[in-house]
Amino acid sequence: MGWADHYRRRDALDAVLRDARRDPSAPLIVDPDVFGSLHELLLALDHRWQNKLTARMENAGLDGRVDEERVTAELAADEPVLRAVLDTHLSLDSYRTVGMTP
């Protein structure tokens, strides 16, 4: 993936999250020029969550022992729309199916 594709995907994810601010449980609009399916869009949103969470866990680890629940809760508070979209659109079964973790 080149930089142009990266920025196009980032902008599409940002647009989905902006739209979801009104109602995270509403159907997500998939830009077919960027994502091949709703599943691919959800994978990309989960990837964004996992990247943010990993960075925070690593940063918290610099100060010693990591309270994973606290770090996760803080990220959820900072990214409420992203967390709500993932929680709403991915059941536990679908997390397991695609190898994601809630």
3-class secondary structure, 36: coil
CA distance 91 to 96: 9
Please report the pLDDT score of residue 81 as a whole number: 97
pLDDT digits (tens, 9 = 90+) for 1-42: 799 989 999 999 999 999 999 999 999 999 999 999 998 999
Domain boundary assignment for the chain: 3-98
Residue 97 has pLDDT above 90, yes or no: no
DSSP per position, 42-77: HHHHHHHHHHHHHHHHHHHHTTSS--HHHHHHHHHH
Q: Which residue has the higher pLDDT, 21 or 97?
A: 21
Please report the pLDDT score of residue 96 as a whole number: 47
pLDDT digits (tens, 9 = 90+) for 36-76: 999 899 999 999 999 999 999 999 888 788 899 999 999 99
Predicted TM-score (pTM) of this structure: 0.84
